[in-house]
Each structure stands twice: as C-alpha cells, then as structure tokens.
Structure 1
Amino acid sequence: MAEQTRREGGVHPVDRVLPPGRMIAYGLQHVLAMYAGIVAVPLILATAIGLPQEQVVYIINASFFMCGVATLLQAVGVWKFGARLPIVQGTTFASVTPMILIGEAHGLQGIYGSIIVAGLLTVLAAPYFSKLLKLFPPVVAGSVITVIGISLMPVAINWAAGGAGSEGFGSPGNIGMAFAVLLVILAITRIFRGFVGRIAVLLGLVIGTAAAAALGMADFGTVGEAAWVRANLPFHFGPPEFYLIPIISMTLVMLIVMVETTADILAIGEITEKRIRPDDVARGLRADGLSTAVAGAFNAFPFTAFAQNVGLVRFSGVKSRFVVATGGVILLLMGFFPKLAALVASIPLPVLGGAGLVLFGTVAAAGIQTLSRVDLTDNRNLIIVAVSVAFGIIPAAVPDFYDGFPEAVRMIFESGITAASVAAIVLNLAFNILGRREPEPASTADAATHAPEPEEVL
C-alpha cells in the first residue's frame, strides 16, 4: 500500500517530528500564507456594522490567538477532538453575511452568543455528520477538491492587483510585484532541492516584501504603533446574548463549515496518503465546533480548515502535522504580541497574491489527481464532474448571481465549495447509487462502493 511504503521507521510522514529549525521555518510559511484570511473577516464585519478602530484591533489580535488554539487542537488533537492532520484553522468567510445581519440587530454580544451555541451544536452533530463520508467517493471528492482550488483563485488575483477597492488596484506596479514573487518561487523550486526548495513560498514572501519596502510599496508604520503585549480576555465586549433566529442562522453556517472541513480533510488525506476514516472526520468536525464555541467566548469568529494551507502542504511536500502545530504556536504568539501580528500584516497584498497563485493552483491540481482515478469514459461520472464544477465556479465568476434568492439559499450556494459539494453528492446519488440499472466498470464501482478505504476514498 502507498501509505505503508512511504513510512520511515514505522512513522507516517503526517506524524513525523522534524528538527526545530525546520519546524519553525515551515510553520512560519503556513502563517504567512494564511494571515490575510484571518484579518479580512474582522475588517469586513467592522466596516459593515461600524465598529471603532480600537475594537477592530482587539478582534484581530483575538483572531490570531484563537486561530493558534484551533490549529493546535486540530493538528495535535486532544481525546476525541482534532483530526491529527496538517490542517490550519482560520476564520470562515461563510459567517460574514449572517454576522453582519446579527450585528446590526444585536451587536457583538448577539454575534458571540449565536457563535457559542452553534459551535456546541456542531460538536454534538459531528459523529452523525461523519457517517456521510460514504457520500464522498473519488468522483465527488475530486470534483470538490478541484473547486476548492478554482474558487480560491479570484482571491489570489485580487491580492495580486492590490486588493479589491484599494487605491491603485490593478496597477502595473502591483501586478508586476505579484508576478515577480511568482517567478522567485518558481525559480527557487526549480533550482533548489531539499529544505530550501520546500520553503520556496516563505522565501518568495520575504524577498518580495523586502523588494516592496525598497520600492515604497510596504508600510511598516503600524508595527511602531502596536502594543508590545496584550492579553485576550474572555467576554471583552460584555456577556453573550442569545436570540433564536441568530442561533439558527449561525447553525446553518456551521453546517456549511462541516461540508467544507470534510472536503479539506479528504484533500489532506489525498495529499498525505493518509487513511481517512469516519472517526477522523468526526474528530476534525468536533475540533471545528469546540474551537468555534471557545472563539465566541474569546472575541473571535467561527473556524474552518483553511484551503490555502492545503495547497501549501501539496506544494512543499511537508506533511507533518507538527509543522502545522508550530504554525499554531506562532499564531498564539501573534495574539499575545501585537507588534508581531502587525509585522506579518505589513506584507503587501501583491506579494501574497504571487504566492497565492501557486498555492491555490496546487489545490486544484490535487483534485485533478483524484479525478484521474475515476472512470470518466462513463458519461455519468463525466456529468457529475462537469455540473458540480460548474456550480462551484458560479459564485467566483458572478458573485451577485444569487442576490435575488432568499438568504437561506444564498448562504449555501454563494459558497462555491458547498455548492459543488451539494451538486456532486446529489448527482452521484442519482446516477451511481439510486436506481442503478447496469454494473459499473470495476474501477468506478470500487470507487463508489468502497469509500472508507484509503486509496479509494482519496
């Protein structure tokens, strides 16, 4: 078996502990690849509901701190919590619109009350949801993983142009910097092997930031203004408030998060050649729920697995979950030391965009690799892939496509990952499971009916 042949000394690469220096470098690379996603959600929410600047800064620091806690829980694991895979946890964008609506009606206390309850309900639902793993055979998993990468590409493209709505968006300077970083990463990957080649993204970000600073494109003024130390105290904005409709709304968000996290766990299993069982998914979803509930107490927002870091695992080839745990420790420190968080946040978006083009593309490539084991000469499988990928691309291609629909519909289908998952699962049930009239070719039948087995699920 592939999983067995890649073990060294009886230890799977996922469980391997690397030398401290390399762990720190690889962990920092993960942090730099995902920091913008952590900052974005508080900034969007703050703008929408009119939070003062000091509250925004506090929430951003709280988000770094809780991302570290959530990542450690997911990667290291405690009892029945944590998938024990190289998964980085970050704030989910699926929660933004519901939180804005809740915040406008009930303020931050109403937001945090709904987050706490929804997180706890996710913990209770995790073992039941994990039993749906059989609904993710290769034709479904491959389609969804491909869409994860494709749906992230507009994010990288916007970063490369300077950030949507920013002054100078799409300027030759911004785009030139992004492509320069991309070329640096490609050159390092091509020329160097071993450790240096594996930190190509980190080196690209460092070199790009230094170049941007020399050209006056980077602003480090916020580093001097940030405090040295700040503790993240629970219920900083007051005790949580609980309202039925906000709780229902946030619970629906967490249902979407469970679908996305399941897809990311399958993607990581594919990349690391790690056997994925329903228990692994259940532990991962419990970690999502628990970290979300705790986040509501510690002034942060709901969590999910960050897909950009799935791409980094694929690109770097570093599969150790303890590398990701090291990244979690760095995130914790960023939460305690605002100057460190400000330094990381000073990386210009065009620099991050150049790296994102590589990372997000590798996620899509991992999905294509999974689909290579599916019999696409069977028109039923071909239709499943085609339609699910189409549904997944709609929100990225035309963001306002579902604006005329009720909020419940928009919450599901405005996430390309969730839309692709729903389409692929329903079509696979209709074409390959329910009312099947003729036997499938061996490879497809095996894939569709033996989902829990490692090489076949992923």
Structure 2
Amino acid sequence: MNASAVHTESLPASVLPVDRVLPVGQMILYGLQHVLVMYAGAVAVPLVVGAALGLSDAQIIILISCDLVICGLATLLQTLGAGRWLGCRLPVVQGCTFAALIPLVLIGREYGMGGISGAVMVAGGFTLISAPWICRLVRFFPKVVMGSIVTLIGLSIMPVAGGWIGGGSSGMAGFGNVTSLAMAALTLVIILNIYTFGSGLIKNIAVLIGLVAGTTLWYFVDTLDFSRVAFSPWVNVPVPLQFATPEFHLVPILLLSMVMIVVMVETMSSMIATGEMVGRKADRETLKKGLLACGMATFCGSLFNLFPYAAFAQNVGLISLTGVKSRFVVAVSGCILILMGLFAKMAALVVIVPKPVLGGAGVVMFGMVAVSGIRTLGEVNYRNNNNGMVVALTLGLGLMPVLVPALFAQLPEMAKMFLHSGITVGTCVAIVANLILNGKGAQFQNRSCVNCAPEELVQSTAARTVAVRTVRMWLLLRRAREQKAKEAD
C-alpha cells in the first residue's frame, strides 16, 4: 500500500489525492526527492549563461542562489496558487527553461546582462498578456494527441539521463568511462531493488535512497569535489539588479518573446501530463492560471537578472514512479529550494551528487513519463480513423531534434530556436496532424467519439438509440392524432 494512501484512508473520498496533505516528515522526504531530481537542470542555465558572460565563480554562485529562491517561489505559486488568477494547483516544479538557453547566450554576448534582463522582463509581460489566448489550444488535445506528447516528453528527455550516466557532456574527456557506467548501473539496481521489494514510505523514496547510497559509494570509488561548498557563503539574500540594470533592445525582446511561445507550449504539455497522472485534468482555466504563474515568475526573475521559467518535465516521471500525487509535497520542494537559495552552502552541497548517480535514477524516472503516455495511447481507438498515423508522425518528427541534433544546423537562427526542441515540434505536429487527418471531429470528442474508450462508445451508441426511438414514437403518435382528426371530419 502507498504511504500516502495509509495516511489518507480516513479522509473523505471526495478529497482527490492531489489535494491531500501527508505527514510533515513524509512531505519533507518526498519534497527533497523532487529537488534532487530537478536540481541539475535548475542550476544549469545560470551556470552556463554566467560562464558565457565571464562572471566569476563567486558571482555565478550568487546567481544560482537567487535562481533557486525564484524557483522555489514560482513552485509555491504553481502548487498553492494565489487568489483566483495565478497557479495551476498541480504538483508542478518550476525552473529555468532550457528552451531559452541558446538565445540567452547569444543576447548576453551581444548586449550583456542588462540586455538579457530587459528582454526577459518584456517576455514575462508578453506571457502574462498572451496566456489567456495560448491556453485555448487545450481543445486540440484529445487522448491521441495528449498520449503522443507525453510519450514524446519521456523519450525526449532520456538523452539527459544518458549524458549524466556518461559523466556530463559527450564532449568532455573521459566521458562514458567504466567507473561512471558502473556507478550509474549500481544506482539503478539499488533503486529497482528498493522499489520492487520495499513498501510504503521506503518504496516511495526509492530514488532518494538510491541517490544517497550512490553518492556514498562514489566517495569510496572516486573523489567528491567539496571546493564549491567551501567557496559558497553561508547566507545569501537576493538583491534586485545586482549584476546590471535592464536595457531594452528590439531584437532581444522579439527573440525571447518568440521563445516564450515555445516555453508556454512545453509548459502546457507538462501540466496536461501531470493533470492526467494525478486525476485532475488540466482544462483551459487551469492552463491559463499555470501560464500566468510562469509569466509572473519570469517577470519577477528579470528583477534579479534571472531568466525565463517553465514547468520541469523531469519531475513528471517521479510522480508516476512513486504514485505520490499531492501538490503539497511539491510545495515543500519549493520551500526547500528557497532555503537552499538563502543558505548557499546547502545548495553547493547538493551539487556534489555525481552525474552518473543522477543518470542511474534518471533512466527510471524519465522512462516512467513515457510509460504514462503509452498507457494513455492504449485507451485510444485506432479503428476506422487515422490515430495511428498521428502517433507515428508525432513520435517520428518529434524525436528528430533529439536523435539528429545537427539536422537543422543550416537553418536561420529563428528557425533553429523553434526546431531544437523535440517536445515543441512534436506538440505542433500532433495538433496539426490530428486536425488534418481526423477532421473537425478531432476537436470535439464528445460529438465524434473518435478516441473514446470502448465503454464510452457503448454509452454514446446507447444514447443515440434512445434518441432515435423517442423520435419514432413521437412521429407515430403524431400520425395517430392526424388520423383521428381526419376521421372526426
């Protein structure tokens, strides 16, 4: 039995798992697990951009600390919400998006940190304005589209786990050495054994135990670099605009505004996938609130010389793996991120977790995202329609940027910015292919039942049969009345 189920048996059945509050100790452990999963991705963008702009190690540490505070606040905004307008109230973790990494580096080299901050500020405002319109795309997400996208998300982020297993980047010296591969495999074996033979709380924190055990074993096999911990200050309070004052230039603003369209599409995909897993489907209103929270986080981040924020797909797999669906667990993750940002040595301590150890855990978590999508595709009807072709096109074209990264290298920068993300490409392909191949009925599942489950088809057929019989009865009664009227005359 799940640990969350043990605690919530006494709660009313009307309380969904996503809204259940677990014991504090469990929420801290589960929340820390989420942080460890997303931490490498959360610090990657400020780390790369800071290095590209020539910031010192001390400045980069400060930038990372500020980023973690904003990540935590944005995660709290998404999970708990603010009033009626902000936050999707789903277990969604927010972090700096990789989609903006290349444009940020290009802008930084040309216009400096001030140019980045000004462009991010306007892009955040653009997101706030356009969110009510972008969220309308949810009507184009029937099961065949949603299942294809979720499967694509899991497959697309698998190379991240592969890079971690090898030790970081394929271009680095010693990538894929025997020690890295062995430690990744050992971590994976530890997680699988705990998940298979454990129960309750122990089973649900299998990833956390695996990461701790793998890091401990790495200490005896290789070395752990504690230098960053020594360099980090004990306390770091974020200071607005400590690196530069925002500067507003047309080209960077247009570039990042286009990037935010890509970010919004990816964020919607993650929210839809998360909503499907936790039993609260992300409708148009939920998506709008989630996108508004992303826009608000991006705008506020610009005040601290930070970058655009989006939902992290990495954590979707963890929800599927553990079965812990409470949004309050992810809210605790937000609190942990804030503490790590304020106490920089805590943040630096997590950095020492070896990449191969993270990779061993990533294989399971990212694979579970794909499994969730495959499960949804299993509910799709493939008879007398083109749903199979929609899935084929989505996965085939969506995986192209992942499998062949240099495929679009000769295209203009604007096109490459869009095409470098397989998730974005696949989402657009799934929507367009479904509309073209399945027609208008693909938009309105209640009318056409193209993707209905068998029981839904039976219900729909029964409803039509009752309607036809009712009309026939009414016509017979009308004819009887007319016949009586003629006889009376």
CA drift at 1:7 = 7.9
**Where does residue 117 of structure 1 map in the other structure?**
122
Pairing 1:359-370 to 2, within 5 Å after superposition: 359-370=365-376
- The equivalent residue for 2:109 is 104
Kept in 2: contact 1:217–1:348 (CA 8 A): no
Cα distance, 1:378 vs structure 2: 4.3
Question: How far did 1:168 drift?
Answer: 2.0
Q: 1:391 aligns with which of 391, 397, 400?
A: 397
* 1:205/1:352 contact within 8 Å kept: yes
What amino acid is aligned across from residue 306 of structure 2 in structure 1?
A
Per the TM alignment, residue 396 of structure 1 is displaced from its structure 2 partner at its CA by 1.1
The answer to whether residue 137 in structure 2 is matched with residue 132 in structure 1 is yes
1:331: which partner in 2? 337
TM-aligned CA distance change 1:240 to 1:61, over 3 Å = same
Task: Tell whether the 8 Å contact from 2:381 to 2:452 is kept in structure 1 after alignment.
Answer: no
User: What's the counterpart of residue 64 of structure 1?
Assistant: 68
Shift of residue 49, structure 1, vs aligned partner: 3.4
Q: Which residue, out of 145, 155, 164, partners 1:150?
A: 155
Q: TM-score by structure 1 length? A: 0.93
Q: Report the more deviating stretch, 204-213 or 57-66.
A: 57-66
In structure 1, C-alpha distance between the alignment counterparts of 2:438 and 2:385, rounded to whole Å: 11
Amino acid at match of 2:17: P
Secondary structure of 2:408 counterpart: coil
1:50-449 equivalent positions in 2, closer than 5 A = 50-79=54-83, 80-164=85-169, 165-378=171-384, 380-434=386-440, 443-444=449-450, 446=452
Q: What SS is found at the alignment partner of 2:450?
A: helix
Please give the alpha-carbon distance, in whole angstroms, between the structure 2 residues aligned to 1:141 and 1:247. Answer: 31
Matches within 5 A, 1:39-54: 39-54=43-58
Aligned to 1:28: 32
Please give the secondary structure, in 1, of the residue aligned with 2:263.
helix
User: Structure 1: which 5+ residue stretches go unaligned?
Assistant: 451-458
How far 1:230 moved relative to its partner?
Answer: 0.9
- In structure 2, the gaps of 5 or more residues are 1-8, 457-489
Pick closer, same or farther for the CA change 1:6–1:185 going to 2, 3 Å: farther
Cα displacement (A) at 1:225: 2.5
Q: d(CA) in 1 for partners of 2:380 and 2:364?
A: 25
How far is the alpha carbon of 1:441 from its aligned partner? 11
Give the match's secondary structure for 1:444. coil
The CA RMSD over aligned residues, in Å, is 2.0
Is 379-388 or 419-428 further displaced after alignment? 379-388
Quote the Cα distance in structure 1 between the aligned partners of 2:402 and 2:384.
28
Give yes or no for contact 2:143–2:451 (8 Å, CA) kept in 1. Answer: no
Quote the Cα distance in structure 2 between the aligned partners of 1:286 and 1:440.
28
SS of the equivalent of 1:304 reads strand
Query: Do the aligned partners of 2:58 and 2:232 also contact (CA within 8 Å) in 1?
Result: no
* Deviations 1:334-388 (CA, angstroms, capped at 9, x unpaired): 1101100011111000000000001100011111111111123445111111011
Structure 1 residues 205, 367: closer, same or farther in 2, change over 3 A?
same
Which residue in 1 is equivalent to 2:5?
none
Report the equivalent of 1:455: none
The answer to whether the 8 A contact 1:7-1:13 is kept is: no
How many angstroms apart in 2 are the aligned matches of 1:329 and 1:435? Answer: 44
- What letter corresponds to residue 32 of structure 2 in structure 1? L
Distance change in 2, residues 1:6/1:317 (3 Å): farther
Check whether the contact 2:70–2:338 (CA below 8 A) recurs between aligned residues.
yes
Contact 2:79 2:88 (8 Å CA) reproduced: yes
* Code of the aligned partner of 1:59: L
1:73 touches 1:287 (CA, 8 Å); kept in 2?
yes
Q: Secondary structure at the match of 1:29?
A: helix
Residue pair 1:116, 1:297 contacting (<8 A) in 2 also: yes
| Distance in 2 between residues matched to 1:6 and 1:415, nearest whole Å | 45
> CA contact under 8 A between 1:374 and 1:443: conserved in structure 2?
no
What is the alpha-carbon distance in structure 2 between the residues aligned to residue 115 and residue 444 of structure 1?
41
Structure 1 window deviating more from structure 2 (217-226 vs 239-248): it is: 217-226
Secondary structure, in 3 states, of the residue corresponding to 1:178? helix
Q: Percent identity?
A: 46
Q: Kindly indicate whether the alpha-carbon contact (under 8 Å) linking 2:191 and 2:209 is maintained by their aligned counterparts in 1.
A: yes
Q: Which has the larger radius of gyration?
A: 2
Deviation at 1:47, TM superposition (A): 3.4
Aligned-partner Cα distance in 1 for 2:222–2:128: 47
| Alignment partners' CA distance in 2, 1:184 and 1:349 | 16
